[in-house]
Amino acid sequence: MLKLDFHPAGRHFLQIPGPSPVPDRILNAISRPTIDHRGPEFGALGLQVLEGIKKIFKTEQPVVIYPASGTGAWEAALSNTLSPGDTVLMYETGHFATLWKKMAEALGLKPEFLGLPGIEGWRYGVQADLIEERLRKDAHHLIKAVCVVHNETSTGVTSDIAAVRKAIDAAGHPALLLVDTISGLASAEYKHDDWGVDVTVSGSQKGLMLPPGISFNAISEKAMAASKSAKLPRAFWDWTDIVEMNKSGYWPYTPNTNLLYGLYEALDMILGEGLDNVFARHQRLAEACRAAVNTWGLEIQCADPAVYSPVLTGVMTPAGFDADLIRKVIYENFNMSLGTGLGKMKGRMFRIGHLGEASDLTLMATLAGCEMGLKLAGVPLAGSGVLAAMDALSAQKVPSLRQAA
Ligand SMILES: *Cc1c(COP(=O)(O)O)cnc(C)c1O
């Protein structure tokens, strides 16, 4: 029998920017009995989730669903479209962009890493003009793909993907556009078709509110055509058989049946609320969170207000305060997990997730936990962020005037 020695009262506050808390509706859906993935009942489920997920990506093109974490879908995007030795232009927004670049190297591609210099570079979004400038110099079109991260989860910066598309077109360059929106999808506005993205990569455990375990590739016609001649070795990740079998709602291998029940439920929740309402809710919570951080007198990692993330807020800790020690104080005293600083930002920041099923009161509890923990850790605060966030949230609420009949 597994023995756990840490059983605090109440539900754990999982306020990392993914996995995000899984709503009860989804947990209940997942708990249904597993069915035959070749039987008639499954085909209907398969067709419905494959159709529904397109609405979230805003695409009419095929979306492939893998029983894998987001990292698998990264590999699928690269290995289906590129050949050994291909040059790819990748943009350094933060830790996740860096990991994707490492993967490209491991697969035998030649990534070129573009970005603003130093640690400061991790505080800004993709600079589309740098991409345009680089592509203009590539007269022989050696660059086969441009890879960018839409919502950089390590920093809390959301880049302008439409601007990247424009930059590629302005340079008259045929490179494919591959975008990671693993943490942006269903939380921040995203338009696979309108923005002319060739492959969009996403995952289940962030805005979609599912447990980890499934991930996605949305595929343009151009990317599908590129896959016919792409030479990187691939078998499990190969789109061809999956897309063919998906036409009848099935997979060439055993898909993640129970997570697909969860996906069906998540789609119903998100489309029921309305995508635009979901995005507005995230923007509103993010704004209140930033009001708290500003009032504490702490610095927000994202240095460009135009690209603040609606998904998470990166909070930099003052010199001399290890962000991971503050996270530990908060975990041990208040049963809440916050995101750690990743890569270059290790120990220098923590990340507050406000994505998925986040609401006014889950945000308020989160900020209260942060404020109490910061005080316990001895961090000097300029004011009460909790009060500032309450003001920000309640200022926009309209009292109900409805009378009892
Ligand atoms: C979470 C995340 C990943 C990694 O996904 P896994 O599911 O952990 O493999 C990659 N990119 C971004 C932007 C992410 O937020």
What digits encode the pLDDT tens for the residues 182-202?
999 999 999 999 999 999 999
What digits encode the pLDDT tens for the residues 283-299?
999 999 999 999 999 99
Query: Is the minimum distance from the CB of 18 to ligand 1 under 6 angstroms?
Result: yes
Distance from first CA to last CA of the chain, Å, rounded? 56
Query: Is the minimum distance from the CB of 182 to ligand 1 under 6 angstroms?
Result: yes
Query: Is the minimum distance from the CB of 70 to ligand 1 under 6 angstroms?
Result: yes
Q: What number is the average pLDDT over the span 368-380?
A: 98
Ligand 1 centre distance from Cα of residue 133 (Å): 29
- Whose CA is closest to atom 12 on ligand 1? 182
Residue 278 CB partners (closer than 8 Å, separation 6+): 186, 187, 270
**Counting atoms of ligand 1 from 1, which one is nearest the CA of 150?**
13
Q: What separation in angstroms does the CA of 387 have from each of 50, 109, 113, 371, 383?
A: 43, 50, 42, 10, 9
pLDDT of residue 170: 98
Structure tokens at 389: 């966030």
Ligand 1 centre distance from Cα of residue 114 (Å): 20
**Counting atoms of ligand 1 from 1, which one is nearest the CA of 181?**
13
Local confidence band at 279 (pLDDT 50, 70, 90 cut-offs) = very high
| Residue that the structure tokens 């930059």 belong to | 167
d(CA 68, CA 214): 5
User: Count of CB atoms within 10 A of residue 165's CB?
Assistant: 19
DSSP state of 20: P
Mean pLDDT of the chain: 96
User: CA neighbours within 13 Å on the CB side: how many for 279?
Assistant: 11
Local confidence band at 404 (pLDDT 50, 70, 90 cut-offs) = low
Sheet holding 87-91, edge to edge: 63-66, 215-219, 199-203, 176-180, 143-149, 87-91, 110-114
Query: Is the minimum distance from the CB of 83 to ligand 1 under 6 angstroms?
Result: no
d(CA 221, CA 232): 19
pTM, to two decimals: 0.96
Ligand 1 centre distance from Cα of residue 209 (Å): 14
Query: Is the minimum distance from the CB of 203 to ligand 1 under 6 angstroms?
Result: yes
Q: What number is the average pLDDT over the span 355-375?
A: 98
Ligand 1 centre distance from Cα of residue 401 (Å): 44
What digits encode the pLDDT tens for the residues 158-181?
999 999 999 999 999 999 999 999
Query: Lowest mean pLDDT: which of 5-9, 56-60, 313-317, 326-330?
Result: 5-9
Ligand 1 centre distance from Cα of residue 213 (Å): 11
Query: Is the minimum distance from the CB of 153 to ligand 1 under 6 angstroms?
Result: yes
Query: Is the minimum distance from the CB of 71 to ligand 1 under 6 angstroms?
Result: yes
| Residue that the structure tokens 């993907």 belong to | 161
Ligand 1 centre distance from Cα of residue 181 (Å): 9
What digits encode the pLDDT tens for the residues 10-33?
889 999 999 999 999 999 999 999
The amino acid occupying position 164 is V
Residue 396 pLDDT > 90, yes or no? Answer: no
User: CA neighbours within 13 Å on the CB side: how many for 133?
Assistant: 6
The answer to whether the bond into 8 is cis (omega within 30° of 0) is no
Strand partners, 62: none
Ligand 1 centre distance from Cα of residue 402 (Å): 45
Query: Is the minimum distance from the CB of 266 to ligand 1 under 6 angstroms?
Result: no
pLDDT of residue 221: 98
The amino acid occupying position 372 is M
Q: Which residues in 5-37 are b (16+ Cβ under 10 Å) and which e? A: eeeeeeeebbbbbbbbbbbeebeebbeeeeeeb
What digits encode the pLDDT tens for the residues 240-271?
999 999 999 999 999 999 999 999 999 999 99
Residue 398 pLDDT > 70, yes or no? Answer: no
pLDDT of residue 9: 81
d(CA 187, CA 117): 29
Ligand 1 centre distance from Cα of residue 10 (Å): 28
Structure tokens at 120: 């400061």
Q: What number is the average pLDDT over the span 104-131?
A: 97
Residue 248 CB partners (closer than 8 Å, separation 6+): 43, 46, 47
Percentage helix, strand, coil for the chain under 3-state DSSP, each rounded to 5: 45, 15, 40
What digits encode the pLDDT tens for the residues 68-88?
999 999 999 999 999 999 999
pLDDT of residue 361: 97
